[in-house]
């Protein structure tokens, strides 16, 4: 179910070209509109659909057995932190509006710059703990699990 | 005209910025404050790798903090489920660290569902938790972009470079820009290969226009293995292939359907078929791996590959197609919504397919089938380059 572009809505801005993981959304050099150069390598991941500021990209069924007439449309809003979907089946029996959060925090502000975090001590470097452990692991009963702490022993071979 | 571009004096090069590579860049920045960290990614880091679409569940979370599981429980589970094809030291290590990564994701803003009664994360199954993960990749990519000195998008790394001065040591990597054809040389003290597995080694079930709607990302070219093999790495358990039971044609995931929606499978006669194959399968693999009575009484899993084998056997016996019984669960509007969200969060194509072919799981039971085999980059498969685990839990070899 590859993507296709509504030529009247596309202004050739190239957001879809920028994001497509398959690198198959290109700008037509004559018409200056985006198009899917290789529909059979489209993962239908909707990355371009979500990125398009003009909602000019849609996804169709396979030409050999799914006629047009359905729609699965999406609006992703980073500021509000939600994604809204509308699914309409071809016969009109399924018509769903679905809303889901994409983040619980203000977009783009919550992830710290680790370069500015305090440097790890030698003790930390010698331990098995990763960044933010043990704080984040929150095992409630002590530190990182080891074979010893869990009453296990190393045994050779595959079967035991 | 394509140019050659050399990036020198890198301390850590991350080749491939999917979920693994982005995480590696983030962690590397903490331990190497002033080190030069560079990422080379084949697509755009914001939407690349197998999680480009998002994920609706985190399939491995111990919940040690809620008293749910311990790392050794996970090792036991995975050992049976993958029928022994595991590296137990690596599994144990991953299991003891995974919770802190999940808690960190939640702090970054990942919406993780909670069980209103217990306050713990909402469980899908014993190991899985439910998330609204549409923006999983953009969130983690942001962390990586903040951590790396430079991110090169659209660079496909093709070979690792060996050190002239030191034997058996990697000194960088080369690749090309998929848009311009520019040749890139990265000289680096260390290289982390975070590349992906391989799709399309086996002929996909979907053909023609559907060829791209494979379960694993169609742009996965097996670099995780190709780079390592050509550099002379010792590979382990490469016989491992992953085959999944999925909704037919759209490869829609079934995990939340089985575990959370409590839907179940049946053959064309409306009968449960799976357990009928257990005696025969037990003869094939031994009681060690398939012990339905013990599994019934305890948490011991029935290996997923054997359950898939039962599905294939049933179809071969002429009692296909296999249907997922959704008509009961979907009468509950809340579960119906979760069923659709589950696709929209990670496999939108399945929702498009159902909309296009007028499949409404509320009134008909959709068909299941098995996928073609994949060689995975992750998904807890056991294959890959040999790497030594942490000192305290690894064997000496």
Q: What CATH number does residue B255 fall under?
A: 3.90.700.10
pLDDT, tens digit (0-9, with 9 covering 90-100), for A32-42? 999 999 999 99
A21 vs B contacts (CB less than 8 Å): 43-44, 47-49, 52, 217, 219
What contacts A148, CB < 8 A, 6 or more positions away? none
Q: Is the dihedral of CA A114, B61, B20, B87 positive or negative?
A: positive
Which ipTM score applies to this complex? 0.91
- Same domain? For B140 and B10 the reply is yes
Contact B132, B113 (CB under 8 A): yes
Domain count, chain B: 2
Q: Is residue B39 part of a domain?
A: yes
Number of neighbouring beta carbons within 10 Å of residue B176: 18
Token pair listed for A72: 């699965």
Name the nearest CA neighbour of A152 among B339, B114, B95, B250. B95
Mean pLDDT over residues B12-39, rounded?
95
B264 CA to centre of own chain: 23
Alpha-carbon distance B225 to B231, whole Å? 10
Q: Identify the domain boundary among B195, B224, B240.
A: B240
pTM score, whole prediction: 0.92
DSSP state of B359: -
Token pair listed for A134: 């043990």
With tokens 């090309």, the residue in question is B176
Q: Which of helix, strand or coil describes residue B158? A: strand
With tokens 């011991």, the residue in question is B300
- Same domain? For B357 and B229 the reply is no
- Same domain? For B233 and B265 the reply is no
Would the pLDDT of A160 be above 50? no
DSSP state of A90: T
- Same domain? For B15 and B163 the reply is yes
Contact B78, B93 (CB under 8 A): no
| Strand partners of residue A6 | none
What are the helix and strand counts (H, E) for chain B?
11, 14
Q: Annotate B47-69 with DSSP letters as a single string.
A: G-STTTT-EEEES----GGGT--
Q: Is residue B135 part of a domain?
A: yes
With tokens 């030594």, the residue in question is B388
Mean pLDDT over residues B197-214, rounded?
87
Q: Annotate B243-260 with DSSP letters as a single string.
A: --EEETTT----HHHHHT
Q: What is the mean pLDDT of chain B?
A: 92
Q: Is residue B382 part of a domain?
A: no
The per-residue pLDDT for A66 is 84
Chain B residues 161-220 with CB within 8 Å of chain A: 178-179, 208-214, 217-219
- Same domain? For B145 and B227 the reply is yes
B391 vs A contacts (CB less than 8 Å): 128
Q: Which of helix, strand or coil describes residue B160? A: strand
Would the pLDDT of A140 be above 60? no
- Please calculate the CA angle A19-B136-B27 and round it to the nearest 5 degrees: 100
Name the nearest CA neighbour of B151 among B240, B249, B46. B46
B358 vs A contacts (CB less than 8 Å): 89-91, 93-94
| φ, ψ dihedrals at B314, nearest 5° | -65, -40
Alpha-carbon distance A51 to B377, whole Å? 27
pLDDT band at A136 (very low <50, low <70, confident <90, very high): confident
Alpha-carbon distance B291 to B282, whole Å? 7
| Strand partners of residue B369 | B246
Would the pLDDT of A158 be above 70? no
The per-residue pLDDT for A127 is 86
pLDDT band at B240 (very low <50, low <70, confident <90, very high): confident
The per-residue pLDDT for A131 is 87
Chain B interface mutation, best of A14, A36, A45, highest count of B Cβ atoms under 10 Å = A45
What contacts A26, CB < 8 A, 6 or more positions away? A17, A34, A35, A37
- Same domain? For B8 and B124 the reply is yes
What contacts A109, CB < 8 A, 6 or more positions away? none
A60 vs B contacts (CB less than 8 Å): 356
> CB distance from A59 to chain B under 8 Å?
yes
- Same domain? For B24 and B157 the reply is yes
Mean pLDDT over residues B42-59, rounded?
94
The per-residue pLDDT for A103 is 95
Name the nearest CA neighbour of A84 among A42, A45, A44, A50. A50
pLDDT band at A71 (very low <50, low <70, confident <90, very high): very high
Number of neighbouring beta carbons within 10 Å of residue A95: 11
DSSP state of A80: T
- Same domain? For B20 and B163 the reply is yes
With tokens 């999940």, the residue in question is B102
- Tell me what percent of chain A is helix, strand and coil, each rounded to the nearest 5: 15, 20, 65
Mean pLDDT over residues B61-88, rounded?
88
Would the pLDDT of B18 be above 90? yes
B136 CA to centre of own chain: 13
> CB distance from A26 to chain B under 8 Å?
no
Q: Is residue B385 part of a domain?
A: no
Alpha-carbon distance B99 to B74, whole Å? 12
pLDDT, tens digit (0-9, with 9 covering 90-100), for B340-374? 999 999 999 999 999 999 999 999 999 999 999 98
Lowest mean pLDDT among A134-143, B128-137, B194-203, B321-330: A134-143
Contact A31, A7 (CB under 8 A): yes
- Same domain? For B234 and B365 the reply is no
CATH of the domain at B17: 3.50.50.60
Q: Is residue B66 part of a domain?
A: no
Lowest mean pLDDT among A69-78, B199-208, B370-379: B370-379
Lowest mean pLDDT among B41-50, B72-81, B316-325, B347-356: B72-81
Would the pLDDT of A135 be above 80? no
Would the pLDDT of B208 be above 90? no
Chain B interface mutation, best of A98, A102, A143, highest count of B Cβ atoms under 10 Å = A102
Mean pLDDT over residues B186-192, rounded?
96
Number of neighbouring beta carbons within 10 Å of residue A154: 12
The alpha helices in chain B, defined as continuous H runs, are 19-31, 71-81, 88-108, 136-147, 223-230, 255-259, 278-285, 292-297, 304-314, 333-346, 348-356
Q: Is residue B327 part of a domain?
A: yes
| Strand partners of residue B102 | none
Q: For chain A, give every domain's residue range.
A: 3-101
Range of the domain at B11: 4-59+105-240
Q: Identify the domain boundary among B200, B217, B240.
A: B240
Q: Is residue B119 part of a domain?
A: yes
What contacts B275, CB < 8 A, 6 or more positions away? B292
Alpha-carbon distance B62 to B68, whole Å? 7
Q: What is the mean pLDDT of chain A?
A: 89
Token pair listed for B9: 């004096």
CB contact under 8 A, A94 and B355: yes
Second-level CATH architecture of A3-101: 2-Layer Sandwich (3.30)
- Same domain? For B353 and B255 the reply is yes
Contact B380, B86 (CB under 8 A): no
More confident residue, A136 or B311: B311
Lowest mean pLDDT among B139-143, B349-353, B390-394: B390-394
CB contact under 8 A, A111 and B392: no
- Same domain? For B181 and B327 the reply is no
Residue of chain B minimizing CA distance to A18: B44
With tokens 């009109």, the residue in question is A92
Q: Annotate B74-138 with DSSP letters as a single string.
A: HHHHHHHHTTT-S-HHHHHHHHHHHHHHHHHHHHHT--B-B-TTT-SBPBSSSS-EEEEETTHHH
User: Could you tell me whether strands B37-40 and B4-15 are parallel, antiparallel, or unpaired per DSSP bridges?
Assistant: parallel
């Amino acid at each position: 179910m590859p993507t296709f572009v509504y030529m009247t809505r596309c202004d050739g801005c190239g957001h879809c070209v920028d994001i497509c993981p398959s690198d198959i959304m290109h700008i037509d050099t004559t018409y200056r509109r985006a198009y899917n150069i290789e529909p059979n390598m489209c993962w239908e991941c909707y990355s371009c659909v979500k990125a398009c500021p003009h909602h000019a990209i849609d996804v169709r069924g396979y030409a050999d057995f799914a006629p047009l007439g359905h729609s699965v449309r999406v609006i992703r809003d980073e500021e509000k932190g939600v994604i809204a979907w509308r699914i309409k089946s071809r016969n009109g029996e399924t018509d769903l509006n679905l809303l889901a959060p994409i983040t619980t925090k203000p977009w783009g502000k919550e992830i710290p710059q680790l370069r500015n975090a305090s440097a790890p001590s030698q003790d930390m470097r010698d331990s098995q703990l990763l960044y933010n452990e043990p704080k984040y692991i929150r095992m409630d009963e002590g530190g990182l699990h080891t074979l010893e702490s869990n009453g296990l022993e190393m045994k050779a071979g595959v079967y035991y | 005209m394509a140019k050659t571009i050399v990036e020198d004096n890198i301390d850590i090069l991350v080749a491939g910025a999917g979920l693994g590579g982005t995480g590696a860049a983030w962690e590397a920045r903490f331990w190497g404050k002033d080190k030069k960290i560079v990422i080379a990614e084949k697509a755009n880091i914001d939407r690349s790798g197998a999680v480009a679409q998002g994920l609706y569940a985190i399939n491995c979370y111990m919940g040690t903090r809620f008293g749910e599981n311990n790392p050794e429980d996970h090792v036991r589970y995975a050992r049976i489920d993958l029928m022994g094809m595991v590296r137990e030291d690596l599994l144990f290590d991953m299991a003891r660290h995974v919770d802190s990564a999940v808690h960190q994701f939640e702090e970054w803003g990942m919406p993780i569902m909670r069980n209103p009664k217990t306050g713990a994360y909402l469980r899908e199954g014993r190991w899985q938790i439910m998330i609204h993960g549409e923006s999983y990749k953009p969130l983690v990519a942001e962390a990586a972009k903040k951590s790396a000195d430079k991110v090169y998008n659209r660079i496909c790394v093709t070979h690792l470079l060996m050190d002239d001065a030191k034997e058996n040591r990697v000194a960088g990597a080369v690749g090309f820009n998929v848009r311009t054809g520019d040749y890139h040389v990265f000289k680096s003290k260390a290289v982390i290969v975070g590349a992906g597995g391989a799709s399309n080694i086996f002929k996909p079930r979907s053909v023609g226009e559907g060829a791209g709607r494979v379960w694993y990302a169609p742009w996965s070219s097996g670099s995780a293995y190709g780079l390592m093999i050509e550099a002379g790495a010792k590979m382990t358990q490469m016989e491992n292939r992953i085959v999944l039971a999925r909704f037919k044609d759209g490869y829609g995931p079934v995990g939340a359907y089985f575990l959370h929606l409590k839907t179940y499978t049946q053959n064309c006669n409306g009968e449960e078929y799976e357990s009928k194959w257990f005696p025969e399968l037990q003869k094939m693999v031994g009681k060690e791996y398939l012990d339905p009575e013990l599994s019934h009484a305890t948490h011991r899993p029935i290996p997923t590959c054997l359950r898939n084998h039962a599905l294939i056997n049933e179809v071969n016996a002429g009692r296909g197609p296999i249907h997922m019984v959704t008509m009961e669960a979907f009468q509950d509007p809340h579960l119906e919504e979760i069923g659709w969200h589950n696709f929209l969060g990670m496999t939108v194509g399945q929702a498009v397919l159902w909309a296009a072919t007028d499949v409404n799981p509320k009134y008909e039971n959709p068909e299941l089938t098995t996928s073609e085999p994949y060689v995975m980059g992750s998904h807890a498969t056991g294959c890959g380059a040999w790497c030594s685990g942490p000192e305290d839990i690894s064997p000496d070899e």
